[in-house]
Amino acid sequence: MTVDRSGLDADSYSGTINITSNDVNNTVSISMTKPEDLTLSVWPIAIAIGETETSQAGAITNSGFGTVTWSVTDDQTWITVTPTNGTTTTEEDLVTVTVDRTGLSAGTYTGTVSITSDGGDKAVGISMTVPQDPVLSVTPTSLDFSSTTVNMTFEITNT
């Protein structure tokens, strides 16, 4: 006896097979389940790395049945994702998104990490900020203690 689940919706199915002979009649009860199909799930759906962090983790899972085979790509040179491919059944596959601010001007940058799989495709938005370089400022730039002044102050700030 074999069953063919193709084309069926996810559900439970049952039936009977009647066996007749010239002596005895019997029935065999048959039951099967068609599980949910492969379904790619990704967490989180957006990653904001900010000004000081360099990486953040996410997870890829299969919220359906079977094994999802997935791969990851990104659309910016400053984004790196590891690992770039894998398979998942029910476990969470952790991926790390790392950013490299080297050579980038101050500002906010955005990109996309795309996950493709046989259980669907997802996109995760990535944002990252490159802070302005610190600028040292000293005020005043000279002090004159003359003949009687003992204490004077000056201010050091990051403008």
- The DSSP code for 120 is B
Tell me the residue ranges of DSSP E strands in the chain. Answer: 11-20, 25-34, 40-43, 46-48, 55-62, 68-74, 79-82, 85-88, 93-99, 107-117, 122-130, 136-139, 155-158
pLDDT at 47: 95
Does the global pTM surpass 0.75?
no
pLDDT band at 4 (very low <50, low <70, confident <90, very high): confident
pLDDT at 5: 81
Q: How far apart are the first and last CA of the chain?
A: 79
Q: Measure the CA–CA gap between 103 and 130, rounded to whole angstroms.
A: 10
Q: Measure the CA–CA gap between 57 and 158, rounded to whole angstroms.
A: 33
- In single-letter form, the type of residue at position 108 comes to T
Task: Count Cβ atoms below 10 Å from residue 6 Cβ, excluding itself.
Answer: 6
Residue at token pair 């040292």? 136
Going by C-alpha positions, the residue among 23, 124, 115 that lies closest to residue 70 is 115
pLDDT at 90: 84
Tell me the residue ranges of DSSP E strands in 21-92. Answer: 25-34, 40-43, 46-48, 55-62, 68-74, 79-82, 85-88
Dump pLDDT digits (tens) for 65-115: 788 999 999 999 999 999 999 999 889 999 999 999 999 999 999 999 999
